[in-house]
Amino acid sequence: MRRYSFLPLVLLSTAAHAQQPPRPEVLLNQVASEVSQQRLYRDISKLVSFGTRHTLSSQTDPKRGIGASVRWAEREMKRLGLRTLQTCDTVTGRRVPTPTRVCNAVAIQRGTERPNDVVIITGHIDSRVTDVMNAAADSPGANDDGSGTAAVLEAARVLSKRKFPATVVYAALSGEEQGLLGGKILADYAKAQGWNVVANLNNDIIGNSCGSDGVCNPGQVRVFSEGPRWQGREDLAARQRSLGGENDSPSRNLSRYLDALAERLPAIGLDVMPIWRNDRFGRGGDHTEFLNAGYPAVRFSVAVENYNHQHQDLRKEGGVEYGDTIDKMDFPYLTKVVKLNIAALAALASAPPPPEPTVQGAVSTDTTLLWKPLSGRPGYAVHWRRTDAATWQSRRDKVAQCITPELAVRAECSAVLKSIRVDDWVFGVSSVGANGFESPVASAVPGGAFKPYVPPPPAPAGQ
């Protein structure tokens, strides 16, 4: 979204060292510049060469089918020295008539300082044609979702050369077209590992720029985000009605973060078009399974879809070519989307996680924000905006007062905003590392935390 930015371009650094760390933009532009259009093309050509990657296709054929393609994706990531695994489950469902093994290729790049904080990039490796149950026909899936899978592999290549404080997970998911199966399997795995998932960036159809009607938009990428958070919604509804939060889920704030990041990195040449809807009208993607588990997640997708080149049998009809083939893609555009993804992963994995603020100030002329201090003692910035404003409008750095456990029974940070009425604004807090990297803003609303919502325990009986 193009707009006048209220954000200062240089973020504060809490360190008073003579030698300041380089600005975040230096690292982010560097990783973006290492994305290779040739490698993206080579990866998608390879993915197409498996003939079909339908979830119900062969798992054992060495050359054709889903099994060969998932093994190839895992090998590509293993070659980089990353720890890889396949997360699998045996599934039966509406689009899976007989019990079928569904496996994702996953690589884990362990964080050096906060390995339990995890950012995850996903794309789906499975493909389909017109009939979603047709596992035999050639189904190139170049754009849907060879493009997202290539983004995952390229992210692994560029970022595995560096170290990050938080963990980065790269995942090529299977079973998307049969019902978001791989997304569910990985979200369950994240839960079982106890990961603190700060963000899932899901990429699904990111490699074309023109629709079948000739409408083109190579300058923007859509980022879909849910508004009121789905997970925990029954418990949150009454408090959100009273205190707000319908536009402040962690996913919505992740979308705002990505939008601002794209503006800070003009060299990439891509603008974010935020779409305030979980996914395209009536349609779905794997990030939804992360949201169902309570993890912040967004979907990247092209600004203009071409329906002739997705979910179509390969054919020519009335002079029109149908099918998801590589020649219909726009690789310079895909390269830009991958650059933004990789810069976002590097930014999120370098920043501390967002705090979990609450706000007070009813019947008061001042507003007070409260949150638990994070380990590593990062700095904090307080943000606020009008309730009907799309993006954060005001910020204040170094306003937080933190009481450490040595001085008090309960560690707590607070920030008081004088003569600002709580009724008229939405508030949030971000954390800022000594390296200058800033987390997304977590809104001080019910359900605003970048964590699965856990309802408070019921009050003890007899009170």
| Site of interaction with Zn ion (CB under 5 A) | 144-145, 204
Q: Report the C-alpha gap between 293 and 180 in whole angstroms.
A: 13
Q: Report the C-alpha gap between 57 and 73 in whole angstroms.
A: 16
| Min dist. Cβ of residue 230 to Zn ion (A) | 20
Nearest residue (CB) to Zn ion, 122 versus 220: 122
Q: Is the peptide bond before 145 cis (omega within 30 degrees of 0)?
A: yes
| Min dist. Cβ of residue 285 to Zn ion (A) | 6
CA distance between the termini of the chain: 51
Q: How many CA atoms lie within 13 A of 327 on its CB side?
A: 4
Q: Report the C-alpha gap between 68 and 52 in whole angstroms.
A: 10
| Min dist. Cβ of residue 301 to Zn ion (A) | 9
Nearest residue (CB) to Zn ion, 144 versus 259: 144
Nearest residue (CB) to Zn ion, 204 versus 271: 204
| Min dist. Cβ of residue 408 to Zn ion (A) | 51
| Min dist. Cβ of residue 207 to Zn ion (A) | 11
| Min dist. Cβ of residue 202 to Zn ion (A) | 10
Q: Report the C-alpha gap between 296 and 248 in whole angstroms.
A: 11
Say if residues 221 and 272 touch (Cβ distance below 8 Å): yes
Contacts of 50 (CB under 8 A, 6+ apart): 63, 64, 65, 66, 68, 69, 72
| Min dist. Cβ of residue 175 to Zn ion (A) | 11
Nearest residue (CB) to Zn ion, 25 versus 144: 144
Nearest residue (CB) to Zn ion, 117 versus 144: 144
| Min dist. Cβ of residue 258 to Zn ion (A) | 19
Nearest residue (CB) to Zn ion, 53 versus 451: 53
| Min dist. Cβ of residue 282 to Zn ion (A) | 14
The helix/strand/coil state of 151 is helix
Amino acid at 254: L
Nearest residue (CB) to Zn ion, 74 versus 144: 144
Say if residues 83 and 110 touch (Cβ distance below 8 Å): yes
CB atoms under 10 Å from CB of 20, counted, come to: 12
* Neighbouring-strand partners of residue 197: 118
Nearest residue (CB) to Zn ion, 204 versus 330: 204
Nearest residue (CB) to Zn ion, 171 versus 351: 171
Nearest residue (CB) to Zn ion, 52 versus 443: 52
327 burial level (CB within 10 Å; 0-12, 13-18, 19+) = exposed
| Sign of the torsion angle spanned by Cα atoms 22, 27, 28, 32 | positive
| Min dist. Cβ of residue 154 to Zn ion (A) | 18
Contacts of 395 (CB under 8 A, 6+ apart): 6, 7, 8, 381, 382, 383, 384
Contacts of 180 (CB under 8 A, 6+ apart): 284, 285, 286, 288, 289
Q: Report the C-alpha gap between 334 and 41 in whole angstroms.
A: 10
Q: Report the C-alpha gap between 125 and 172 in whole angstroms.
A: 6
Nearest residue (CB) to Zn ion, 144 versus 279: 144
Q: What is the DSSP string of 305-341?
A: --GGGSS--SEEETTEEES--GGG--HHHHHHHHHHH
Say if residues 144 and 47 touch (Cβ distance below 8 Å): no
| Min dist. Cβ of residue 147 to Zn ion (A) | 9
